Structure 1
């Protein structure tokens, strides 16, 4: 059984519903983290550069 067919079977199975919900939550957290890094990346880079220069 390939990964794709196993994934589709888990969506059709009631027991796989919990796994699908956890996967959606994990994907949402990853998207939020990526967006936060995009917006805050410059500020974090500046802070780390200042810390590196002071050492």
Structure 2
């Protein structure tokens, strides 16, 4: 019986499992924040390129004469 009690006390005093859970939660929060930051930066850059494309559409100079076109949705231009 004393061995069972001593094992229960050792299990109660063990903190490595709790620390692992805390670190796992911390890693999850950091990963979520990184993903959100990457998505936000991607949307910002995409918006900037779309705005630039709309400004430059039919105003660019093409080799051989004429004006260029810009397709923001397709990501192409001439």
The TM-score normalised by the length of structure 2 is 0.42
Q: How many residues align?
A: 37
Note the aligned Cα RMSD (angstroms). Answer: 1.3
Provide runs of 4+ in structure 1 moved above 2 Å: none
Greater fraction of residues in helix? 1
Deviation at 1:52, TM superposition (A): 3.3
- In the other structure, the counterpart of 2:54 is 38
Deviation at 1:43, TM superposition (A): 1.2
Greater fraction of residues in strand? 2
The TM-score normalised by the length of structure 1 is 0.57
Which of the pair has more CA radius of gyration? 2
